Amino acid sequence: MALHVSVVGATGAVGRKLISLLDQSRLPVSRISPVASARSAGQVLVTERIPIAPIAAIESFSFTGADIAFFSAGAEVSRRFAPRAAAEGCLVIDNSSAFRDQADIPLAVPEVNPEVLRQRPDRGIVANPNCSTIQLVRGVAPLHAAFGLTRIVVSTYQAASGGGLRGITELASDSAEALREHPGPVAHPDDGEGRFGMRLAFNLVPQIGALDDWGAAHEERKLRYETRKILRHPSLRIDATAVRVGVFNCHSEAVLAEFDRVVEAAAAWRVLDAAHDLMLYRPDGWPPYPTPLTVQQAPSTNGHVHVGRVRGDPENPRQISLWIVADNLMVGAALNALRIAEQAVTNGWLDAVTARA
C-alpha cells in the first residue's frame, strides 16, 4: 500500500504538526501534497523522509488521486471543499467544527469510541473533535466505563496556540511589549480587534467564540454536544466555562465528574492508572501534577493526556475532581487525526489503494 496524502491548511500550526507526524508515522505514505490559500502557493515545506510537493492553492487543487485529505483550515474552508474532496474519492479527516454535529458523520477519538470507525462513512468524511473535548473525553472515559457518569462540570484554560499561528505570534508580541520598561500602546489593545477579542498577554479571557441566546460561548457549546456524542451519553449533564489564558501551548482543564454510584478516590486512581496513553501524577511525586510547561518540556510524552489532582469529595461521595493537561496541537488535533487515519487503514477502508498499487 502506498498512500498519497493531502494536508489542507498546511501552513497553519496544526497543519505543520500533522505533516511532521506523517513524516514520522507508521502509515505507508508515499507522498504529501500540502494545500493552503493562494498566497502560500509555491512555497516549499521541508520533510525528512516522505517526498512533499510545493504548496498548492486550495481553489485549484484536485483531490483526484489522493487517498486521504486532512483538513485543518477552519470550518468555512471545510464546508466548501471537504465534500468536493470526498466526492473525488478522498477519505476526509476534518479538524474543524463544520461536520461534528451531523448525525451521519463519525466524531472519533480512537482511544474512546473506535466503534464509529468500523465502516467507512457513506459521505467519506470523519470529524476530528475539538481540542478541549479530546483531552476531556480521554480523561473521563475510563471513569465513565467503570462508574457511570451523570454530570461533568469543566473549566478549560486554553492556550494561545488554539488560535493558530496568529494567536501564538500575538501573545509573543504583546507579552514583549508589556515587559518593556516604558511600554507604549500595546499592539492589540482591548478594542476587540485582536485574535482573542481582548489582549491575552498576562490576562485571562473568559469567552471563546460567539455567545448564544443563553450566554454560552461557542467553545462551551462544543464541549457539551461533542462529549455527549463521543461518549454516546445524550443525557449527560455538562456545565462548561472556556477561558483563554496567556500560555503559548497546552490546554488545561479543571473537571468535576459526578457518577451514579459512590466512587472512592483510590478506585478512580486504579482506573486512570490503567488507561492507555494517560499519564497519572501522584501528589508525592515530582512534579506532583501536570502543568502546560511541564508537559511542553517533556516531548516524549506529549502524545499523552496528563492527569493529576485526583481527589474525592467528603461531602459528595459520588464525585471525583481531576486536573487534565494536554498538548492541544498534538493530542487535541494532529495526533487524533493521524490515529483516525491509522484506524481507517487497519479497518480496510483503503484496501482499494492496495489493489491498484
Of 188, 251, 304, 306, which is the active-site residue? 251
φ and ψ at residue 279, rounded to 5 degrees = -105, 120
> What is d(CA 46, CA 74) in angstroms, rounded to the nearest whole number?
23
User: CB-hemisphere CA count at 13 Å for 133?
Assistant: 29
φ and ψ at residue 164, rounded to 5 degrees = 80, -170
Residues in contact with 63: Cβ distance below 8 Å, sequence separation at least 6, in sequence order: 6, 69, 84, 85, 88, 89, 90
Preceding peptide of 314 cis, ω within 30°: no
Of 131, 144, 250, 304, which is the active-site residue? 131
CB-based burial, 232-250: b 16+ in 10 Å, e otherwise: ebeebebebbbbbbbbebb
CB–CB of 259/147 below 8 Å? yes
**Range list of β-strands (E), 117-186:** 125-127, 149-158
User: Does 131 qualify as catalytic in the annotation?
Assistant: yes
Burial class (CB in 10 A: 0-12, 13-18, 19+), 21: middle
Q: Which of 175, 176, 182 is nearest to 247 (CA)?
A: 175
Residue numbers annotated as active site: 131, 251
